[in-house]
Every structure is written in structure tokens, then in C-alpha cells.
Amino acid sequence: MWYIGEHRYDQLATVWEIEDHETYALVKLGTSRKDKRTGEYANSNWSYVRFVKDAYKHIDELELKMRIVIKSGGISREPYVNHEASEREDGRVWPKYENIVVFAWAVHEYEDNQGNVGIDTPPMVEEAEEEDSNDTPF
């Protein structure tokens, strides 16, 4: 799951691959959330996330396995015109996958139980329990 807009918790992601294309970068990210029913984490992988504008300006600061906070971005799935293979009369076709764009990010900082501040989330850090106003398991 990728949280969009304001949320009680930062959207954390782990960087798995970085492809620099000189004006943008394609980054493979992983996110996770805790299933309240089982206590286990559900992981999602996001391929071809496009880092543009301010996110791309700082691409050289990204490292593999780094934990980052997505500050702004968007997800879209809009039709485009394909002149070679027209599924419709006007040539509009829908992409098979969503387009994910990140405009800004920051390195994730954490505070451990002793009050020490660090960069990148250490393994097994539990997320705070979220109050639930409905019966959904997520």
C-alpha cells in the first residue's frame, strides 16, 4: 500500500535499485504495513518509480537499502495515444501499470529506546499502533 496525501505516519520506503537517466531516475522501492489481525508485515514492491524535480536533484544521496520518507508524489493511470496499435478508434489505450512519481523525499531518521537518533530504520522497529475507527484489518 502506498499512502497518498497527509497521513498520521510517514510513508517509508526502502531503496532497492536506482537507474539514473540524466534528467530523472527510475527507482525500485519496497514498502510495508502491519496487518492488525495477524501482527505480520505485508510487503509491496514498486518498480519503475520515477524520481523527478527535487527528488532527482538529490538522487546522488540515495544508497541501496536506504530507508527514505516520501514527502510528495503521485500515482496515476491515465490513457495515452498509441498510433501503432489502436484499441479504440481514437488510439487511446490504458497502461498496464500505474505511473508512480516522487517529487520530494528525505532520509528517514529514527530515535531508539535510549533517545539516540540515527539514519535508516534498523530492522524490527515496530510502527506505532494506529487507532481504528472501522473494522478493516489494515
Residue 1 lies in a domain: no
Residue 46 pairs in a beta bridge with: 29
Mind listing the pLDDT tens digit for each residue in 105-133? 999 886 666 655 555 543 433 433 444 44
Residue 29 lies in a domain: yes
Number of domains composing the chain: 1
Residue 43 lies in a domain: yes
Question: Rounded to the nearest 10 degrees, how much is the dihedral formed by the CA atoms of 69, 73, 77, 82?
Answer: -120
Pick the closest to residue 13 from 37, 24, 29 (CA basis): 29
Residue 128 lies in a domain: no
Tell whether pTM > 0.95: no
Separation between Cα atoms, residue 25 and residue 37, nearest integer Å:
37
Range of the domain at 113: 11-118
Residue 125 lies in a domain: no
pLDDT of residue 137: 44
Within 10 Å of residue 55's Cβ, how many Cβ atoms?
24
Mind listing the pLDDT tens digit for each residue in 1-42? 555 556 666 788 999 999 999 999 999 999 988 888 999 989
Within 10 Å of residue 134's Cβ, how many Cβ atoms?
5
Separation between Cα atoms, residue 13 and residue 108, nearest integer Å:
9
For residue 33, the Cα-to-chain-centroid distance in whole angstroms is 12
Mind listing the pLDDT tens digit for each residue in 45-85? 999 999 999 999 999 999 999 999 998 888 888 887 776 65
CATH number of the domain at 44, please.
2.40.50
